[in-house]
Each structure stands twice: as C-alpha cells, then as structure tokens.
Amino acid sequence: GEDVEQSLFLSVREGDSSVINCTYTDSSSTYLYWYKQEPGAGLQLLTYIFSNMDMKQDQRLTVLLNKKDKHLSLRIADTQTGDSAIYFCAETRGNFNKFYFGSGTKLNVKP
C-alpha cells in the first residue's frame, strides 16, 4: 500500500457529492479499482477502470483517471448515509494477479 496513497477521512452531508482521491506511482498500472468496506465486512468491488480510459460512469459513481498525474478519483453523486464506509483504491500492475491497495478513506455521511 505504500505506493498507493489516499487521504484518511472525508465528511459530507447527505445529498452532496463526495469525491475520494487516490494517487499511485507505478506507470505500468493496468487496472485501477475502487472497493467499499462496510463495518465488520469484507471488501466489495464498486467499479474499475482500465488504464487506457479517462472516465467511467456507473449510476451514481464516476471514476476519473489522470494518467499523467497518476491520479484516480471516485465521485459519488447524491451521497446517502448508506454510503458511509471505508473506500479503497487498488491497482494491478503488469501481473494482473498482484494487487496493491491504498490505506483507505473513511467516508462519513451526515444526515
């Protein structure tokens, strides 16, 4: 995880948009992922993007990839209290089977 960095906390109000950011250092990254972890549970894949894409949208989720700056972001539109969780970005590099995770961003959604 030391090569994949995220801020630790984010607090937003219900109904606002949330933007969670991630930076990575390996330019050979192939796939980049966003996972969600709810309290006491394992990780759940939210979405992923291939490194030759700039953007991917899936309902309330928008992923932006800036490969030049090695910056990945996840935007959650109309954030709900049920979105409160820890969000991890992750990458696979040349070997699709090895994963590298960030330290996670804890999203707190206030009613």
Partner 1 sequence: EAQVTQNPRYLITVTGKKLTVTCSQNMNHEYMSWYRQDPGLGLRQIYYSMNVEVTDKGDVPEGYKVSRKEKRNFPLILESPSPNQTSLYFCASSRAGTSGGRQFFGPGTRLTVL
Which CB, 18 or 92, lies closer to partner 1?
A: 92
Q: Could you give the angle at the alpha carbon of 75 between the alpha carbons of 73 and 78, nearest 5°?
A: 170
| Candidate list 23, 61, 103, 106; residue touching partner 1; CB under 8 A | 103
Stretch 31-50 residues interacting with partner 1 (CB under 8 A): 31, 33, 40-45, 48
Residue 51 makes contact with partner 1 by CB under 8 A: no
Residues in contact with partner 1, counted by CB under 8 A, come to a total of 26
Please give the order of strands across the beta sheet that includes 71-76: 4-6, 18-24, 71-76, 61-66, 55-58
Candidate ranges 10-18, 62-70, 74-82, 87-95; the one touching partner 1 (CB under 8 A): 87-95
Task: Report angle CA 92, 26, 108 to the nearest 5 degrees.
Answer: 70
Question: What are the structure tokens assigned to 107, written together?
Answer: 């999203």
Report d(CA 52, CA 78) in Å as an integer: 28
- Residue ranges that bind partner 1, judged by CB under 8 A: 1-2, 4, 8, 30-31, 33, 40-45, 48, 88, 90, 92, 96-104
